[in-house]
Structure 1
């Protein structure tokens, strides 16, 4: 598993979008027992915080201690620095295992061995993510598309293609459950949009190589009027043993 976000932990926690409650409720339909859940690749707890009200205990793991330090506190959540592929949990202990916006960084074979070892026979495994942002102002949306596909074309890590393919091409050796389609929809200021774009790993790579920020080069405040509606298509796959 790669760790690309430790250096931006606070910005990541503040700027990344949160999944809608409808996604949680859909997953819970397939999790009759809710004693113990594992949120793997939890980062700064964006998805962990949504699970917290529904489980007796949750363990949230990530390779980045910096990320976990910015996660919100809950009495029933234990944050632990662990690699996804080398967990230390007992066999068949989890009712739910989730990975949100992180599966593409994992060694699939090694991680899935851990999922199959630790998931209960009636437990649910769910992979979530979100695709490229869309905004409701045409000129601004076109600028974001140009940033993503042209300016940053050679700066994305190879694993990014799994998100572009909406996680349909990741290995998924589970009995898959058909899920509805969901979107994240938010009202953002221009500053919130800029903060989010600055969390992209490719922006970090570009900045490190060229010593200038590609977001500031392409997106200008004059393109922006009032609050903008932003949306992210949600990527969601779920299955059982």
Structure 2
């Protein structure tokens, strides 16, 4: 498995700086579901499993009395702590399969772009253990396909990023098959009867060309490429940036490009 890559500070730093920002659409979808299922009761605690550097941990802070982020990567947790100022958010190094939380104490267990790395049956058992009655489970991620929109060169820009993602396919861990199926198998494996799966949740954000290059580096497939063929990976980056610059011309260093992608979400409620 490629999980060891997430423990390296090099990847953690890139991930913190360049990874896709948290999707407000996904956050709102999860919060609406939780509020509906909990009948409007005060929300005491949320646990973000596989929290990384806290991108999806912090947005829940205004809605819960306490939020805990857990991850097996000490480097990611270190960065999460450095970038968190909310007093009700804390972080711990812990595996998804052994949550450091009391029984029946949590209103929401969530995982963003992480559930496919977990040992499913053990994680689900833990989630059910810690969830209160009518507590919720929310697992989400995004499909590895991106459209870049800018003036009349959207097609050319999208073709470049698509070719890069296609190149990365050979470096994907088998767990990533769950991503390509929009968590279909994970949804089927959730041992709760009250559940649903939502696909094609749209998201748009902006990135500069340097930020797009950083985003490419921040993905574990690129880091896996580096481990296997460092020179080849570096050459890919150089060539990709050159192609982007040729398309954008003199605007390459100043433009903000619209990035479009789609998320999916598995939601479930414990009765």
TM over 0.5: yes
What 5-or-longer segments of structure 2 have no aligned partner? 35-39
Which residue matches 1:172?
Answer: 190
Which residue matches 1:56?
Answer: 65
Aligned length: 240
Task: Measure, in 2, the Cα distance between the counterparts of 1:207 and 1:26.
Answer: 36
| TM-score normalised by L of structure 2 | 0.83
Q: Which of 220, 223, 240 does residue 247 from structure 2 map onto?
A: 223
Note closer, same or farther for the CA distance 1:55–1:105 as it changes in structure 2 (3 Å cut). same
Task: Measure, in 1, the Cα distance between the counterparts of 2:48 and 2:175.
Answer: 20
Note closer, same or farther for the CA distance 1:156–1:20 as it changes in structure 2 (3 Å cut). closer
| TM-score normalised by L of structure 1 | 0.92
Which residue matches 1:5?
Answer: 6
CA RMSD of aligned residues (A): 1.8
Q: Which of 143, 149, 152 does residue 160 from structure 2 map onto?
A: 143
Task: Measure, in 2, the Cα distance between the counterparts of 1:233 and 1:117.
Answer: 31
Task: Measure, in 2, the Cα distance between the counterparts of 1:98 and 1:141.
Answer: 31
Point out the structure with the larger helix share. Answer: 2
Note closer, same or farther for the CA distance 1:88–1:194 as it changes in structure 2 (3 Å cut). same
Q: Which of 33, 47, 72 does residue 30 from structure 1 map onto?
A: 33
Note closer, same or farther for the CA distance 1:144–1:197 as it changes in structure 2 (3 Å cut). same
Is the Cα contact below 8 Å between 1:94 and 1:118 reproduced in 2?
A: yes
**How far 1:30 sits from its partner (Å)?**
3.0
* 4+ residue segments displaced more than 6 Å: none
Task: Measure, in 2, the Cα distance between the counterparts of 1:106 and 1:22.
Answer: 24
Q: Does 1:193 align with 2:215?
A: no
**How far 1:3 sits from its partner (Å)?**
3.7
Task: Measure, in 2, the Cα distance between the counterparts of 1:178 and 1:188.
Answer: 29
